[in-house]
Amino acid sequence: MTSFSLFEIFLDLAYSWTRMFIALLLSILFSLTVGILAARNKRAEAIIVPLLDVFQSIPILGFFPIVILGVIAIIPSQIGVDLSVILLIFTSLAWNITFGVYEAVKSIPHDYIELSLMPDVGAWRRITNLYIPASISRIAYNTETSWAVGLFYLISSEILTLGKSSYTVTHGIGVAIITFASANDWTGYTYSIISLLVAVVVWQFVFLREFALWSERYKFVEEPRGARHDPLMRFYSWMTHKSISKLFLYSHSRGVTKFSSTFYRFKDGIKYSIVILLAIFIAFELGALWNLNIGLPTHLPSVASIFSTEKNVIVALAYSFVRIWYVYFFCVMVGVPLGIGVSLNSKLYDGLTPVIETIASVPAPALLPAIALVTHQGELVAAIIIFLGMIWYIVFNVMAGIRSLPAELFELRSIFHISRVQAWRDIYLPAAATAFVSGSIVAIGAAWNTLIVAEFFIVSGSTPITQVQAGIGKTIALATNQGDLLSLTLAVLSMTALIVTFNLVVWRRVYHYTTKRYAYNR
C-alpha cells in the first residue's frame, strides 16, 4: 500500500470518529437533560422511563432506512446523510447513558439532596454542583461500555447508506472497507480493518480509560467490581443486565429494577406491547402522510396491498426466525464450552481475554466482503455474519457469570474428588445457566439487528455481493433500495412485534425459571 492510501484511511477514521464523538456529546447532553428531569420529577419519570424502555428494546438498525428517508426528505444534502448516521449512533448510545444518569441521580444519598434544598441554593447550582457531578461516573462507565455497540452501528450505517447513490456517505472507515472490497483491493481492505482495530485499542487507552479513571473521583461509594474490569466483557454483561431488566420490568414476581413500580399499571404485557405498536404505527402513518407532500410515496397504501405485503413479510420473518435459531444452536455449541473453559483457568483467562476482546471488537459487517469472497453461498455468509454478531454475547456473559461465582464453588470439585464430566454436568453448566440465558436473550436480539446486513448486501447499484433466498433483513434492505415505504414499515413493525411477543411469551418464562432454579445466591 502506498502512504497516500494510508493517509486516506486515516482521514476516513477521522470522519468516523468525529461522527461517533458528536453522537456521544449529543447523547451526554440528552442524558443529562432527560435523565435528571426523570429522576427529579415524578410526572416526567412516568413518561420518560417507559419511553426509554421501548426505545431500548426495538431493533434500531431496522429503523435506520426509515430514519434516513425521513432526514433526507428534510435536508436533502450530504449534511442530511451525516446527520442520519449520527442520529443512528446517538440512538445506540443515548438510552443507556440516560438510564445511567437517571439511576445515578436517583441514588444520590438523601442527605445530599436535603442539603441542596437549602433556601440559598438555586436550581441551577443544584444541577451543576450536585446532579451533574453525581452522574459523571455513570456517564463515563456507560460511555466506555456502549462504545463497542456504537461502533457496530457506525460501520453498519456507513455501509447501509451506500445502497442508493442519491444519499451516500462519502467518507468513513466503513465506506473505506466496502469500497476497497468492491474494487477487489484486498490489501487496502486488510489495511483498513487493521487500522480500525488499532484505532479501537488506542481510543480505549487514550480516551475511554482516562475518562473512566478521571470520573472515579465523583463516586459516592466504592463499588466492588470483582473480576469484571475488562471493559468489553463488562459491556456485554452490563448490556445484558440492562436489556433483561428492561424486558421484564413489568413483571411483578421479581424486583429486577428499582423503578419497576412505574410499570405496575401495565399489568398485561400484551396490552402494553399493542399500545406501543399502535403508537409507532400511527407515528409512521403520520410520517408517511407528511412524506406525501415531499413526494416520496405517491399515495397511501390500500388495505389489499397492505395484506399482500404483510403476507410476504410474514414468510420472510419465518425464514429469518429459523435462520437465527439454527445459528444460535451453533453459537451455544461453541460459546458455552469456550466461555466456561476459559473462565475456569485463571492463566488462560488472563491471556485469552484481551485476544477475544480484540476479535470481538471488529464489527461483523466489516468482515462481510471478505467472507463473501471465500464463499458465494448467500445462506452461509448470512449464517457467519449472524454467528459473529451473536456469539460474543454468549461467550462474555458465560465468562462474567462464571467469574462472578465464589472460588469455593470450584474448590468443591477437588475437595470431593469429582470427575471432570460430573463437574461439568453438576457444577459448571448449572452455574453458568442464568448468565447463559441472559446472554442468549440479548444475543438473539442482536441477531435480528445483523440481519439487515447479513441477508442482503449490495454496493452502489451493482449486483448484490451476497443474498439469501428470503428473509426479513433482505425485505428491509430491498425496500430501502427501492424506496418502498410500505414494505419497509410493515417489515420493521412485524419484526418488532415478533421480538416483543417472543420475549414476553418465551424468554420471560425461561428467564424466571432459570433465575429461580439456578441463580447462585448463598
Footprint on this chain of another protein (rule: CB under 8 A): 406, 408-409, 411-412, 414-419, 422, 426-427, 430, 433, 516-522
Q: Which residue has the cell 445515578?
A: 104
Contact (CB, 8 A) for 62 and 448: yes
Between residues 430 and 464, which has the closer beta carbon with respect to another protein? 430
Among residues 259, 264, 322, which one has the least CA distance to residue 99?
A: 259
Rounded (5°) CA angle 88-92-96:
150
Cα separation, 395 vs 401, whole angstroms: 10
Cβ distance to another protein smaller for residue 3 or 521: 521
Could you tell me which of 66, 242, 226, 250 has the C-alpha nearest to residue 160?
A: 66
CB of 513 to another protein, least distance (A): 12
| Nearest-angstrom CA–CA distance, 20 and 235 | 17
Minimal distance, residue 419 CB to another protein, in Å? 7
Using the minimum distance from each CB to another protein, give the nearer residue, 43 or 347.
Answer: 347
- Give the shortest CB-231-to-another protein separation in angstroms: 19
Distances (CA, A) of 479 to 59, 186, 339, 476, 490: 17, 30, 39, 5, 10
Question: How near is the Cβ of 411 to another protein at its closest, in Å?
Answer: 6
CA separation for the pair 271, 34 (Å, rounded)? 26
Q: Smallest distance from the beta carbon of 436 to another protein, in angstroms?
A: 13
Q: Could you tell me the smallest distance in angstroms from the CB atom of residue 346 to another protein?
A: 12
Question: Rounded to whole angstroms, what are the CA distances from 454 to 54, 67, 498?
Answer: 25, 20, 19
- Interatomic CA distance for residues 184 and 119, integer angstroms: 69
CA distance 439 to 413: 26
110 vs 417 by CB, closer to another protein = 417
SS3 content of the chain, % helix, strand, coil (to 5): 80, 0, 20
Question: What is the C-alpha to C-alpha distance for residues 292 and 431, in angstroms, rounded to an integer?
Answer: 56
| Least gap, CB of 422 to another protein (angstroms) | 6
Phi (first) and psi of residue 52, to 5 degrees: -60, -40
Bridge partner list, 466: 457
Dihedral angle, C-alpha 488, 491, 494, 496, nearest 10 ° = -80
Q: Which is nearer to another protein, 159 or 402 (CB)?
A: 402
C-alpha cell belonging to residue 211: 475518562
Query: CA-based Rg of the chain, rounded to a whole angstrom?
Result: 23
Tally of CA atoms within 13 A in the half-sphere of 217 that contains its CB = 3
Nearer to another protein, 293 or 521 (CB): 521
Supply the minimum distance, in Å, between the C-beta of residue 222 and another protein: 16
Q: How far is the CB of 521 from another protein (least distance, A)?
A: 7
Shortest Cβ 428–another protein spacing (Å): 11
Q: Which residues contact 66 (CB under 8 A, 6 or more apart)?
A: 284, 287, 485, 488, 489, 492
The nearer residue to another protein, 125 or 425, going by C-beta atoms, is 425
State in angstroms the smallest separation of the CB of 223 from another protein: 20
Pick 149 or 433: Cβ nearer another protein: 433
As measured in angstroms, the least distance from the Cβ of 213 to another protein is 17
Which cell is 219 given? 463516586
Query: Cβ-count burial of 141 within 10 angstroms (0-12 exposed, 13-18 middle, 19+ buried)?
Result: buried
Closer Cβ to another protein, 303 or 421, answer by number: 421
Which CB atom, from 42 or from 417, has the smaller least distance to another protein? 417
Nearer to another protein, 351 or 461 (CB): 351
Q: Is 125 or 516 the residue whose CB approaches another protein more closely?
A: 516
